[in-house]
Amino acid sequence: MSILVNKNTRLLVQGITGQEGIFHTEKMVEYGTRVVAGVTPGKGGEWVLNGKIPVFDSVKIAKNATGANTSVIFVPARFAADAMFEAADAGMELIICITEGVPVADMMRVRNFLDQKGVRLVGPNCPGLLTPGEAKAGIIPGNIAIPGSIGVVSRSGTLTYEVLYALKNLGLGVSTCVGIGGDPVNGTNFIDTLEMFQEDPDTEKIVLIGEIGGTDEEQAAEYISKYVTKPVASFIAGRTAPPGKRMGHAGAIVQGGTGLAEDKIRALEDAGVKVADHPEQIPELL
């Protein structure tokens, strides 16, 4: 079993005719994901990937024509908020926004709208989702993970790939990998994903990959201590980061005495989580 995406997911790609959109659409199709439509305003009626996927002018038209239930967004940051609004308004059940650099003010408006609509968002500034052997929605390489029973949730794209590959090399498979992104305002968070993994009967163990900045990991630790009965291993990036300096992600900044790696590690260990010194150690801890 899996969470969020599987072989029955009917995926729509917003921004499919752009360079990033078409490249990753091809990779998703090669993996076996059911990509049923693309959306680029003004290019409705066209087809991409040698006539395999139709392009529509709007998400609503595409959904009505193809039955798409999930959207993945590859549009420039200045259009990303409108793309998320459009997908939610059209009735998409799940929206995955890969775009980075979306302004915080835009995301606050989007989050408010999506919460009212009851639509789940993953991202922005994230690598997306991968359910090995079934579907990938985003940019996570499909060949670095095998099917299994370990759920992975991460704020960092690159570290996600490293951990997935380390697990694969030891023959450990993954139920679903969720890249939630590292922006200060996003959709799905650690607690949302932990709850889904806890309820998923085929996820037996969980990997949580965090980083400095904010208090998401501390909140996740508190949730784990109260509600998660499955074994959890973790890695926190940024132990050596100087205070006040942004490290890759907009949310990865230590300010006002909060967001330190030491605080996150302590909270996780107090909750019974095994914390790795480096990503390659995670398979051993599991």
Mean pLDDT within 97-107: 96
Q: Which fold has domain 140-285?
A: Rossmann fold (3.40.50)
Distance CA 119, CA 8 (A): 18
Q: Are 74 and 26 in contact (CB under 8 A)?
A: no
Q: Is the pLDDT of residue 245 over 60?
A: no
pLDDT band at residue 249 using 50, 70 and 90 as cut-offs: low
Of all residues in the chain, what percent carry a pLDDT higher than 70? 93
- Mean of pLDDT over the chain: 93
Instruction: Tell me what the mean pLDDT of segment 229-238 comes to.
Output: 95
How confident is the model at residue 255, as a pLDDT? 47
Q: What is the mean pLDDT of residues 161-176?
A: 96
Mean pLDDT is lowest, of 11-15, 72-76, 124-128, 257-261, for 257-261
Averaged pLDDT, 228-255: 70
The residue-averaged pLDDT of 176-189 equals 95
For residues 77-106, give the mean pLDDT. Answer: 97
User: Is the predicted pLDDT of residue 17 greater than 50, yes or no?
Assistant: yes
Is this structure's pTM higher than 0.75?
A: yes
Residues annotated as catalytic (active site), given as ranges: 249
Query: Would you state the pLDDT for residue 242?
Result: 62
Checking if the pLDDT of 70 tops 80, the result is yes
Residue 46 CB neighbours (<10 A): 15
Among all chains, which residue has been given the structure tokens 């006539």? 51
At residue 51, the pLDDT reads 95
pLDDT score recorded for residue 156: 85
Rounded Cα–Cα distance for residues 249 and 100 (Å): 9
For 96-112, what is the mean pLDDT? Answer: 97
pLDDT surpassing 60 at residue 253: no
User: Peptide bond before 132: cis, by omega within 30 degrees of 0?
Assistant: no
Start-end of CATH 3.40.50.261 domains in the chain: 140-285
The answer for residues whose C-beta is within 8 angstroms of residue 19's C-beta and 6 or more apart is none
Contacts of 127 (CB under 8 A, 6+ apart): 98, 138, 139, 140, 157, 160, 161, 179
Burial class (CB in 10 A: 0-12, 13-18, 19+), 273: buried
Q: What is the pLDDT of residue 157?
A: 81
* Residue 83 CB partners (closer than 8 Å, separation 6+): 14, 15, 73, 75, 97, 99
CATH superfamily of 10-122: NAD(P)-binding Rossmann-like Domain (3.40.50.720)
Average pLDDT over residues 251-261: 59
Rounded-to-integer distance, Cα 15 and Cα 241, Å? 35
- Phi then psi for residue 127, to 5 deg, are -85, -10
pLDDT at 191: 98
For the chain, where do the domains classified as CATH 3.40.50.720 start and end?
A: 10-122
Residue 258 gets which letter from DSSP?
Answer: B
d(C-alpha 219, C-alpha 184), whole Å: 14
Q: Which residues contact 51 (CB under 8 A, 6 or more apart)?
A: none
**Confidence tier at 248 by pLDDT (50, 70, 90):** low
Q: What is the pLDDT of residue 214?
A: 87
Distance CA 203, CA 87 (A): 29
State the average pLDDT over residues 174-198: 96
Write down the pLDDT at residue 260.
87
Q: How far apart are CA 34 and CA 137, in angstroms?
A: 10
**What six digits make up the tokens of 80?**
């990303």
What is the reported pLDDT for 247? 52
Where does the pLDDT of residue 265 fall: very low under 50, low under 70, confident under 90, or very high at 90 and above?
very high
The DSSP 8-state label assigned to residue 154 in this structure reads: E
Q: Is 95 exposed, middle or buried (0-12, 13-18, 19+ CB in 10 A)?
A: buried
- Asked whether residue 257 carries a pLDDT value surpassing 50, the answer given is no
